[in-house]
Amino acid sequence: MSRPKLWWAFAAALVTTVAGAAQTFTVLFVNDFHSCLESFIIPGQNEETGGIDRLAGLIRELRAANEKEGIPTFLLVGGDIVQGPKCPLSMYGAAYRGKASFDCLNEMGVDAAALGNHEFQYGWDNLHLLIAAAAFPITTANVKYREGPRRGETVVPEAVWLRVGAKRILVFGLTVPMETRDNPDLVFEDPVETARGVVERYDGQADAVIALNHIGSDGDIALAQAVPRIGIIIGGHTHEGLERVKKVGTTALVRSEPYGTTLGRIDLLFKDNGELVIKNYELIPIRASTPTDEAVAAVVENYREGLTAEFGPAMGEKIVTMNSSDGRVIASNFGEFVADALREATGADAALVNNGVVGVGLNPGPITVAEAMAALPIASTKVVVVPYKGAALKKALEHCARFDVGAAGFLQVSNITCVFTPPAGVSGIKINEKPLDETASYKVALPGFLTGKVYGYKMLAARHTFDTGLTVGNVIIKSLSEGRRIPSRPESRITVAEP
């Protein structure tokens, strides 16, 4: 098999050096911004944060300042560019399937971006279109074609070369392994073994090695221990920024905060002897006072106008905190609201949604399109109706009882009541206030992905599904716009028996 193609990226500042001369350069980085293109206020806080136009504005200023000093500047993106969980403003990802985010990055001079797991959320065909339209290099070394004429090849270049004067820096991406049910043509190989192979292939050619990881903090540590030749690991996937450089052996680990709320900056120096050292490291907050980039702001405004034209700017008032729970009732008021809306929109006997469908909690106040989509991190998911036997529903509830209450796989229900007896017992199951008949067939509304054996719900796999033509997001937006109120507290639909 031929060696995969490599991207070359050269710093904007033209630097003339001689072999052995000291050279300073800057790496700016961001990870896990999940289509949070607009600024927002985190529930419970007062200060505005984020906004990709402000992120781009800060990057532009830092580049300009470095250029005056003849210092090269690179911008790296650590994955999860597209939609994702618990993002305060994720409607752009749900509505545009990543295109809005990629169009913004096309204006920002990205030098390399890794693929995160959420880039695959809408399938390989959608991601392939995003990659083809990207004006920047994308790298991931451990995602390969499973079959066909390109079997065994990486789906994007396995590495990118950065050039600082006479020095060559190898940057390669890694993606957290994930189920390939939605991407059957792809295989996700072990990140550590993949990294070891990449470093061995190119080590003699590189003056420094940077891993642009989207494998989580534990994965970063394991990689640093297994492949010490990597000088810097820019992490992703774990939504926890590193305020200080974390050293594992000789490898430096860094990571920015999620959702574009901080920009990571690391200033580096190639010493006369070729050693790479860190001069400075910081996470720079993105605030209301941060300058904006007009070109990126125009891209966001264009997509914002599209959302407003389709859904309208506001949909009434919410009088309670969304996602609140109460005592031993193991449900959220918004989760039950979503389940009820799916059932009513489809005329089903019952409805099931999982906690992963319900995103961030939202405080009382006006409900906007932005907030509605933010509270539904997978709003573009199709709504289907499936005829299930009562026995299958019982098994699903028994499986649900094994999850912790806050787990993504825990179910919210509509028109179903029951009692959980830990660790997995279920009793008193009723549908429409009547005892469950295990031999009867019930029409159940649910997000389509729940029929794919996710979270271990094998009993919900279905040969025959009715595609309603609806999405979770559209159902909820319509329900809210018609004036339906979110209940002030969850009902006693699923309760836990006292020990």
Q: State the DSSP code for 362.
A: B
Residue 170 within any structural domain of the chain: yes
Residue 273, pLDDT score: 87
> Are residues 145 and 284 located together in one domain of the fold?
yes
Please give the residue range of the domain that contains residue 426.
312-496
Residue 13, pLDDT score: 33
Half-sphere exposure of residue 375: CA atoms within 13 angstroms, side-chain side: 25
The answer to whether 233 touches 251, Cβ cutoff 8 Å, is yes
Boundary-marking domain end, from 287, 304, 321 = 304
Say which residues have a Cβ less than 8 Å from residue 309's Cβ, sequence separation at least 6: none
What tens-digit pLDDT sequence spans the chain (499 residues)?
Answer: 333 444 444 443 333 333 445 789 999 999 998 888 888 776 556 778 899 999 999 999 999 999 999 999 999 999 999 876 555 555 677 678 889 999 999 999 999 999 998 898 778 888 999 999 999 999 999 999 988 888 999 999 999 999 999 999 999 999 998 865 557 789 999 999 999 999 999 988 999 999 999 999 999 999 999 999 999 999 999 888 999 999 999 999 999 999 899 999 999 999 988 899 999 999 999 999 999 999 999 999 998 888 766 655 555 555 455 555 443 345 677 788 889 999 999 999 999 998 776 655 556 666 665 566 656 656 667 899 999 999 999 999 999 888 776 677 888 899 999 998 866 689 999 999 999 999 999 999 998 888 888 888 999 988 778 888 887 877 887 787 777 777 766 677 888 776 6
Residue 200, pLDDT score: 95
Say which residues have a Cβ less than 8 Å from residue 87's Cβ, sequence separation at least 6: 34, 35, 36, 93, 258, 259, 359, 360, 374, 377
Residue 159, pLDDT score: 95
Say which residues have a Cβ less than 8 Å from residue 31's Cβ, sequence separation at least 6: 77, 78, 79, 80, 116, 214, 234, 235, 236, 237, 255, 256, 258, 264
Express each pLDDT in 335-364 by its tens digit. Answer: 888 899 999 999 999 999 987 766 555 566
> Are residues 395 and 484 located together in one domain of the fold?
yes
Using DSSP, state whether 348 is helix, strand or coil.
coil
Express each pLDDT in 12-51 by its tens digit. Answer: 333 333 344 578 999 999 999 888 888 877 655 677 889 9
Residue 470, Cβ neighbours under 10 Å: how many? 18
Residue 1 within any structural domain of the chain: no
Residue 163 within any structural domain of the chain: yes
Residue 197, pLDDT score: 96
Strand partners, 233: 211, 253
> Are residues 242 and 378 located together in one domain of the fold?
no
Express each pLDDT in 235-244 by its tens digit. Answer: 999 888 999 9
Look up the CATH number of the domain holding residue 135.
3.60.21.10
> Are residues 261 and 329 located together in one domain of the fold?
no
Look up the CATH number of the domain holding residue 451.
3.90.780.10
Over its C-alpha atoms, the chain yields an Rg (Å, rounded) of: 24
Domain count, the chain: 2
Q: What percent of the chain has pLDDT over 70?
A: 80
Concatenated DSSP letters of 114-173: EPPGGGGTT-HHHHHHHHHH-SS-EE-SSEEE-SSTTTTSBSS-S-EEEEETTEEEEEEE
Residue 472 within any structural domain of the chain: yes
> Are residues 292 and 317 located together in one domain of the fold?
no
Residue 159 within any structural domain of the chain: yes
Residue 282, pLDDT score: 97
Residue given tokens 């005329």 in the structure block: 347
Task: Tell which residue, 268, 259, 265, 263, has the closest CA to residue 291.
Answer: 263
Boundary-marking domain end, from 304, 338, 357 = 304
> Are residues 78 and 170 located together in one domain of the fold?
yes
Residue 92 within any structural domain of the chain: yes
> Are residues 294 and 343 located together in one domain of the fold?
no
Residue 86, pLDDT score: 53
E strands, 165-300, in order = 167-175, 186-188, 208-214, 232-234, 246-248, 251-254, 262-270, 276-285
Concatenated DSSP letters of 283-338: EEE-BTTS---HHHHHHHHHHHHHHHHHH-SEEEEE-S-BT--BTTB---HHHHHH
Dihedral-angle region of residue 382 (phi above 0 means left; psi in -120 to 50 means alpha; beta otherwise): beta
The answer to whether 386 touches 462, Cβ cutoff 8 Å, is yes
CA-based end-to-end distance of the chain: 61
Task: Tell which residue, 183, 171, 82, has the closest CA to residue 131.
Answer: 82
> Are residues 162 and 119 located together in one domain of the fold?
yes
Task: Tell which residue, 219, 237, 169, 147, has the closest CA to residue 7.
Answer: 169
> Are residues 148 and 90 located together in one domain of the fold?
yes
Boundary-marking domain end, from 275, 304, 333 = 304
Distances in Å between the alpha carbon of 442 and those of 230, 388, 390, 457?
A: 56, 5, 7, 17
Whether the model pTM is above 0.95: no
> Are residues 36 and 165 located together in one domain of the fold?
yes
Residue 2 within any structural domain of the chain: no
Residue 470 within any structural domain of the chain: yes
The answer to whether 108 touches 61, Cβ cutoff 8 Å, is no
Residue 477 backbone phi and psi in degrees, to 5? -60, -45
> Are residues 332 and 387 located together in one domain of the fold?
yes
Residue 104, pLDDT score: 96
Burial class of residue 170 (count of CB atoms within 10 Å of its CB; 0-12, 13-18, 19+) = buried
> Are residues 162 and 108 located together in one domain of the fold?
yes
The answer to whether 301 touches 64, Cβ cutoff 8 Å, is no
Residue 200, Cβ neighbours under 10 Å: how many? 11
